Structure 1
């Protein structure tokens, strides 16, 4: 099998992590060589940038002899800088992990990719799609996922789920990372941007109602992936 690139997208509380684990197990059982990765992250550099992006900007900073090495500083990242860091992590991820795996014939399963950038930095932060498109063209050189599964849940449902699981992220504080702590209008803007992406690219992006039971969503997910895997290569995207 020629290498494939499958991404899973969705707002907070859509169940991405659980479903990615399920899909990886399902693909492995079918004797498909699969690698699971995530964005931002997936590489040593990417994971460092992920912590910077998600931990609400609290960082240990060593000032040398003048201050204690554990002095905490607070550095606000601008929206534009946030966008650049996302694509910096993505550039490294592509060249270190995704492209080599695909070249070796492996199936790459990625927790979020550029659709998330259009949703969070575009819809949520209000950065123009044109600016995001410019970076996408440069970094990806035309590469797109072969299939994107987009999990959709109303904001209220997502909030109930994140509260129920008692979120603790790399920040070490309850309440989620800095994206999960955003206000409701930000979350709704992210969801609507995701839905616009699904409407714009229906052949690549398959929208799944993630409000249903986990079993129903898993069945829908594997059915979509199986249809993709069994379709003629040229018919997978249009």
Structure 2
């Protein structure tokens, strides 16, 4: 029997890993299967969270401390959860999200200070939900940074931290894949996009039934 929705799928990875492209591809694949899909992103995904996104992703790299970022990301995530994610899942939809709490665990909890415990405690208190399935797109840090900088989208604050931070983030995501093997699938992002998309679609189809 085919499962008809109510599943939370997230995409993670360093900047320029191709996760946004793959999230869109999976959402389209699942729609073609006849599923009711909500495609969203973080930070953002709801009006209030999008306002916080503008604060977080623009400006100088040192605009916010890691501690302040954790609070802002958690506030955006809570609004996103209340207004979009939870209602969509309750209605039986598949939610495909470009980034979620794992990004905060890595960016603020690991690479910008030893703040993982704070990230996890705030997540427990204010979010309380993990994805059902997470795709971590793994790619060489220099390649990812080059791709990210070529976008010129006006939201380059984190990319401006440079290659060393990208390398630390990659290590953080690899650690998360080992920490949460029941939901995380590590995907080689150094291949053609269509090959990656086919692998992800197959995994998602199996999970959805």
Aligned length: 206
- For 1:94, the equivalent position in structure 2 comes to 81
The answer on whether the counterparts of 2:145 and 2:166 sit within 8 Å (CA) in structure 1 is no
Q: Deviations over 1:190-209 (max 9, x none)?
A: 11111000011111000000
Q: Using the alignment, how far apart are the partners of 1:157 and 1:57 within structure 2?
A: 23
Deviations 1:59-106 (A, max 9, x none): xxxxxxxxxxxxxxxx93221111100000000000000000000000
The 2-side partners of 1:135 and 1:169 are apart by 30
Task: Give the match's secondary structure for 2:14.
Answer: coil
The structure with the larger Rg is 1
Pick aligned residue for 2:162 from 176, 183, 196: 183
Please show how residues 198-237 of structure 1 align to structure 2 within 5 Å.
Answer: 198-230=177-209
**Aligned residues of 1:3 and 1:106 also touching (Cα < 8 A):** yes
CA shift, 1:162, in A, is 2.8
8 A contact 1:122–1:193 mirrored in 2: no
TM-score (normalizing by structure 2): 0.94
Structure 1 stretches (4+) deviating beyond 6 angstroms? none
The TM-score, its normalising length taken from structure 1, stands at 0.83
Identify the residue that residue 167 of structure 1 maps to in structure 2: 151
Show structure 2 runs of 5+ residues with no match: none
Match of 2:110 in 1: 123
Unmatched runs of 5 consecutive residues or more in structure 1: 59-74, 172-176, 231-238
Report what 1:107 is aligned to: 94
Contact 2:108 2:116 in 1 (8 A): no
Structure having the higher helix fraction is 2
